Chains A and B, each alone.
Chain A
Amino acid sequence: MMSARAVRAFGAFLLAMILSPALLFAAEQPVLRWGADCDGGAPYIFRDPDKPERLIGFEVDLVDALAKKLGRKPEFIQNQWDGLVPGLKRGDYDIAINGIEITEERLREASFSIPYFHTYEQISVRQGNEAIHSLAAARGKVAGALTASLAERILEEAGGIESRSYSSQTNLYEDLANGRLDLVLMDQPVAVYYADPDPRLRSVGEPIGQMSYGIALKKENRELLASIDRALKELKAEGVLRDIYDRWGIWNPLMAREFKDTSPSRPARELERYLSSRDGFSGWKSKLSRYSSYLPLLLEGALTTVKLSVLGMALAVVLGLLLALARLYGGPVLSTLSLVYVEVFRGTPLLIQLFLLFYGLPYLGIKLSPLVAAVLGLGFNYAASEAEVYRAGILSVPQGQADAAFSLGLNRRRTLRHVILPQAMRVVLPPMTNDFIALLKDSSLVSIITMVELTKVYGQLASATYDHLGLGILTAILYFLMGLPFVRLARRAERRASQGWR
């Protein structure tokens, strides 16, 4: 006879057996892939200055709450801000959320959730400047705004204001503080983080304009849109949204009106924490320890840069050589094709080529991964320049060398391989080294197709920490160090190739 305890244990075991597939299923939560650009800075989505490997921001909290409601696991996908909506179309992620204002133009390209945040443009001026308190008072003055932002449009429509275009808010406020600008017009949450805490600056005047941030989705994705709208309504009703905005210190009069919630704000803990962490970041000791904590991220970016550059250069070398040979020996058809290739790839910007590879090809049904697109873009572009370098190198070998080789019975291929190319090598190595270093630096352009390489990491850290100078120097040093081994390698190869001439 089994004891009652044994029976209970056996029953529990059976139950576990039956439930385990269900448990496994529950563990495999579907993911919610969300795209954003984490070098937009505080308070949206940015790297925690204390723990740079961690992403924080009010939109991170929002996505976490949203994903919980949807029963999904959030997965962050980095993309350049301008590429967020195109990335939706490519299917790189399910939703895009990064202070994306709902506008008519954007509604044509994507669908949007109900707004999760309402805000306005805020004027900031230098401390002590009492003259400017509205746009009307800013006539004849120099104003700054982010490129292609609502603020920029408002400045242009106001008339009589000289408007200057910037790509980062830190540079904007820095130029305001040092007198290059008289005022800055900027989204209110940004002003809260970058203008208000700065003792040299202050925000003035009434709210200007109105904009509403929404979550963008691919148009076909109606089901997800409906459940996101439902979840946002619930989060609003439960006070979760209000709580998030309070913690980040960005609750504003417009929100109070739209959300019909006039209760006073609670302390902005996250804002306090961020400011103390950012401003505690002074003095050489704390700076050094801070930089060393950034090093792993920067090195990871540097590794991506090296990987991209080496693969890109390898492609450029092989393709460039084929192009040069086709041009010189390929007969009229191949020679013309090679010429056209060189002219087209040399005559158009790398940036455009990358965009076409990454966002253009999907229209033809070819979807390349960011790494593949980046390597192809860099390789194809530099192949054009390599082709010309190799052609010059081959032409620099006197005709008598080929005559001698032919007279010895070497055919054209063997003459190239054993006589012409080894001699061309000597001439070609210095400009090739040059090209490789140039490619190493140009590789920073691939951040526009979602690759996070060294310059991108720099951008993310700099906008989160407000330290462009120190991080800039650190990044420049890393680039320099990355190039060094290749320069040395090239010197060595050059010495070997110059055997006999010295």
Chain B
Amino acid sequence: MATPPFIDVQGLQKSYTPGVPVLRGVDLKVRKGQSTFLVGRSGCGKSTLLRCLNGLESFDLGKIRVGKAELERGGGVRGKPGLKEIRALRDHFGMVFQGFNLFPHLTVLENVLLAPQVVKGLSRSEAEEVAVPLLEKVGLKAQLLSYPAKISGGQQQRAAIARALAMAPEVMLYDEPTSALDTWLSDEVFEVVRQLDAEGMTQIVVTHELHFAREVAEQVVFMEDGVVVEAGPAAQVLKDPEDPRTRAFLRKLQ
């Protein structure tokens, strides 16, 4: 490849309890504008990888580079990473969670307004100029003033996507965004993911919904036991995998 990847993860290692590693040296490269789907069994470390990327989890060893920001642990680097380093990494990402994690005490609109107002210091009307079009884009024009508990799960997840987009991230991270939703509601959410992909957003999606990966993914990464087993174009990894472990995984799912 001529141009260096936008996201470059090298040799990432992490354990929650000493001696029980969750990530055992993960390498991952993501080009700008690419949608990458992380697949693998539950507990293979894909969610942890995602959380390490935006600094919600620390890691023990390895390197993460996003654009110009870099965070390295272990080897010659000692001590905890500073808040500044984590922030520099985190600022590139927007994140969508399995459980939506909308703020229940705020309306849908207020959920989206909060970070632009508090973090970027925008006025309410400036923030609304950002938030309202985003909410319209994800199809929540009628739910602006509803509280999260009053709308469907699909609507909640779309609101969460709008909330993340309001901070104008360069990369969107999705941690099993539809696991808590039924098929119809999942489609609503993935429709938004598809649209963002079409607009050229860089995205990393952790999911079990392979049919959707087939449709949208440019890169599919298969993980098992804390390492990347196979990574490549969706058509290749999902239809004609090289590694027997990938094949076994796909067989189980079909």
Chain A contact residues, CB within 8 Å of chain B: 398, 400-401, 403-411, 414, 418-419, 422-423, 426, 497, 499-501
A410 and B103 contact, Cβ closer than 8 Å, known pairs A404-B97, A500-B147: no
| Structural contact, A401 and B103, CB atoms closer than 8 A | yes
Residues in A neighbouring B119, C-beta threshold 8 A: 408-410, 414
In the complex, A411→B87 CA distance in Å?
Answer: 9
Q: Pick the contact of A500: B99, B105, B167 (CB < 8 A).
A: B105
User: Taking CB as reference atom, which chain A residue is nearest B102?
Assistant: A404
| Structural contact, B90 and A500, CB atoms closer than 8 A | no
- In residues 139-174 of chain B, which contact A (Cβ within 8 Å)? 147-149, 160, 163-164, 167
User: Taking CB as reference atom, which chain A residue is nearest B147?
Assistant: A500
Q: Pick the contact of B56: A403, A497, A500 (CB < 8 A).
A: A403
Residues in A neighbouring B160, C-beta threshold 8 A: 404
Any A CB within 8 A of the CB of B95: yes
Residues in A neighbouring B99, C-beta threshold 8 A: 400
- Nearest 8 interchain pairs by C-beta: A500-B147, A404-B101, A408-B115, A407-B95, A400-B101, A409-B119, A422-B105, A500-B104
User: Closest approach, in angstroms, between the C-beta of B188 and any C-beta of chain A?
Assistant: 20
Residues in A neighbouring B55, C-beta threshold 8 A: 406
Residues in B neighbouring A406, C-beta threshold 8 A: 55-56, 90
Residues in A neighbouring B91, C-beta threshold 8 A: 409
| Structural contact, B97 and A403, CB atoms closer than 8 A | yes
| Structural contact, A401 and B163, CB atoms closer than 8 A | no
Any A CB within 8 A of the CB of B106: yes
Chain B contact residues, CB within 8 Å of chain A: 54-56, 83, 87, 90-91, 93-95, 97, 99, 101-107, 114-115, 118-119, 147-149, 160, 163-164, 167
User: Taking CB as reference atom, which chain B residue is nearest A406?
Assistant: B56
Residues in A neighbouring B95, C-beta threshold 8 A: 403-404, 407
In the complex, A404→B99 CA distance in Å?
Answer: 10
| Structural contact, B115 and A410, CB atoms closer than 8 A | yes
Identify 17 residue pairs between A and B in the complex whose beta-carbon atoms are under 8 Å apart, listed by A's number.
A400-B97, A401-B101, A401-B103, A403-B56, A403-B95, A404-B102, A407-B94, A408-B164, A409-B91, A409-B119, A410-B115, A422-B105, A426-B105, A500-B105, A500-B107, A500-B147, A501-B149
Q: Pick the contact of A499: B97, B102, B105, B115 (CB < 8 A).
A: B105
Q: Pick the contact of A407: B54, B83, B104, B149 (CB < 8 A).
A: B54
A408 and B104 contact, Cβ closer than 8 Å, known pairs A400-B97, A499-B147: no
| Structural contact, A423 and B87, CB atoms closer than 8 A | no
| Structural contact, B106 and A500, CB atoms closer than 8 A | yes
**11 more A-B contacts (CB under 8 A) besides A408-B115, A408-B164, A499-B105?**
A403-B95, A403-B101, A404-B101, A405-B103, A407-B164, A409-B119, A422-B105, A426-B105, A500-B104, A500-B107, A501-B105
